[in-house]
Amino acid sequence: MGFDGLMRNKVLLVSGGTQGLGAGIAMAAAEQGAEAVAVVGRNTENGREAVKRIEAAGTQAMFIKADLSKMPQVGTVVETAVKRLGRVDALVNAAGLTTRGTMLDTTEELFDAHVAVNLKAPFFLMQQVIAHLRERGTSGNIANIITMSSHGGQPYLAPYAATKAGLAGLTRNAAHAHRCDRIRINGINIGWTATEGEDAIQRRFHNAGDDWLEKANASQPMGKLGQVDEIADFVVFLLSERSGVVTGSVVDWDQTVPGAYD
């Protein structure tokens, strides 16, 4: 097997799959021959558009409307996908909350919101998929989208860094626990990435102008921010058989090196 058709005969479930990196991963999986892709999100219009794009690539698609901050809705996601698509072979936890908050100004409400979306929802989506795979007696793959901020992060990302660090630990714990089930679980610590969500954040929280992306690209060692298509291709590779036996890895996908200084 080469690097074409990496997702052939696979059914993929992507939380946060209606926009940004999640949508990019869903499309990359479709382009790599996925049998079906289910995308999860809150916005119905975005979900419908994502389904259209995936279907245009020749892959069956469905949208699952769910607010991942609400456990009753999280609890039905995998069941809904299985009922419609027959099974789930792989999961990507790409949904995430990045609302700003420091150690001093983060409220309990904000902290709980980050825990719910960034840690609790991935935990229980993983639980559901792992149980489903074990019931089928088959192997499977999970990829968790984490962040370079899980190493510590910026002062204004305190709840985000805390919950994503928890997800990194959970990734390793679950990978160890289910390696003998042949369920591989890996994480990707993404760095600063050019998405529509990042554009909104820069304008809302950092008073960025229309040229913020141009300036941000110029400030980076490689001359650009992380690109959705490049990260998506890497995630699909991790979900595929071509990544071999790798499990429990949390890969720093960035152009900065933690612990290194000028």
Q: Which residues, at least 6 apart from 123, have a Cβ–Cβ distance to it below 8 Å?
A: 170
Any idea how long the chain is?
Answer: 262
Active site residue 160: yes
* Catalytic residue from among 35, 81, 94, 160: 160
Give the residue ranges of DSSP H helices in 89-145.
108-115, 121-136
Name every residue whose Cβ is closer than 8 Å to that of residue 209 and which is 6 or more positions away in sequence. none
**Helices first, then strands: H and E counts in the chain:** 10, 9
Alpha-carbon distance 15 to 38, whole Å? Answer: 8
With contact defined as beta carbons under 8 Å apart, do 187 and 207 qualify? Answer: no
By annotation, the residues acting in catalysis are 160
